[in-house]
Structure formats: C-alpha cells, structure tokens
Amino acid sequence: MGGVLACLLAISALGQEPPQIVRAQLLMATEGAHPGSRVRAAVIAQIAPGYHINAHHLSLDYLIPTEARFKSSPDAKVEKIIYPAGRLKRLAFSKTPLLVYEGKLPIGLVVRVGTPKGISTISLRGELSYQACNDRACFAPSSVPLALNISLVPRKVPLRSTHAAVFSKIQFR
C-alpha cells in the first residue's frame, strides 16, 4: 500500500501538478514557557514518500540547503538550530551519495523567551526553506511557513514535558 502511494506520488511529480512535498509544524518540548527562560522546540517536517530534500550541511556545493529561519523579536528569539546530519543516499543522477532528508525530519530549536508585560502568549514565526527532488527531477526551491504560539506560565508553576518521543531523538547538546 505504501509502495503504491509512493509510486503514485512519484508519478505525479513528473506530471502537470506539483504535489505538496513538505509539510511542517512547530512543537514545544514543554507545555508553555517561563518568561525569561530558554525552551526547547522543534520543527517537525514530513517529506512525502518518493522525495528527498537536501540536508542542511551539503554534500555538494551546488545544492540548495534546507534551512529554518525565524523572525527575531524581544518576545521570542531562536538562539540555536540543531539540524540532523541527513542520510547518505545514492541517486541516479549523482556519482557520489548525497546527504538528504527523507520521511520525518526533526530540527531542534532553542528559543529564548522574553519577559513581555501584560500578555500571556507570545508567537514565534518563521519558515522552512528547502529544495526537493526525486530520483529523476527537481522542484523549484520552496518554503513552508512555521508558526507557534507559546503560552507564558508563571515561574512558580512547573512546566510539564510534551512530545517526549520526538524530543528524545534530537541531540540538543
């Protein structure tokens, strides 16, 4: 079944309609954040079967890297972005294997939360830019918007962890 779907997606890539290749969302490692703290978050991208996007650290200099970019504000500033290394994949069009992302892609973020006055939610906005290909064709560089609302929790209230399975796979240190 997965094979049939992958096959259909790969075929549609070479037809008239470009498919939605990458979908992405932002997740927090905790339910909310304390003002003035650093919190962990992650971009979780899902790459459609049959496609890959270039890794952030490129294996060939002519490729376009995957990159997460965020708007900086006093309320929320992304201080660190942790990209996975990618998987070496041998493709028909390249003599050497390329570092690519396929399937589920978790990108770790360390976010510095500000101390805004009189608001209970801050927002983080950005985009994930990528350039996708399959084994035979490539698609124009593209991006998906990223948005996350972070609830501010008083410092005396302990934060509960969420999405532990996702965050355990990201090397934050």
Between 80 and 136, name the residue whose CB sits nearer to other proteins. 136
Q: Which residues is 70 bridged to in the sheet?
A: 126
Between 87 and 112, name the residue whose CB sits nearer to other proteins. 87
Cβ of residue 141: shortest distance to other proteins, in angstroms? 8
157 binds other proteins (CB under 8 A): no
64 binds other proteins (CB under 8 A): yes
Between 109 and 133, name the residue whose CB sits nearer to other proteins. 133
Position among 72, 129, 131, 143 found at the interface with other proteins (CB under 8 A): 131
Position among 117, 118, 140, 154 found at the interface with other proteins (CB under 8 A): 140
Q: Are 134 and 10 in contact (CB under 8 A)?
A: yes
Between 44 and 91, name the residue whose CB sits nearer to other proteins. 91
Q: How many helices (H) and strands (E) does the chain have?
A: 2, 11
Quickly count: other Cβ atoms within 10 Å of residue 124's Cβ.
Answer: 23
Helix (H) or strand (E) holding 37: none
First to last CA, the chain: 38
133 binds other proteins (CB under 8 A): yes
Q: Are 91 and 135 in contact (CB under 8 A)?
A: yes
Smallest CA-to-CA distance from 86 within 117, 130, 32 is with: 130
Q: Are 118 and 131 in contact (CB under 8 A)?
A: no
Per-residue contact flags (x/-) with other proteins for residues 7 to 46, judged by CB under 8 A: xx--x-xxxxxx-x--------------------------
Sites of contact with other proteins (CB under 8 A): 1, 4-5, 7-8, 11, 13-18, 20, 60, 62-64, 91-94, 98, 131, 133-141, 145
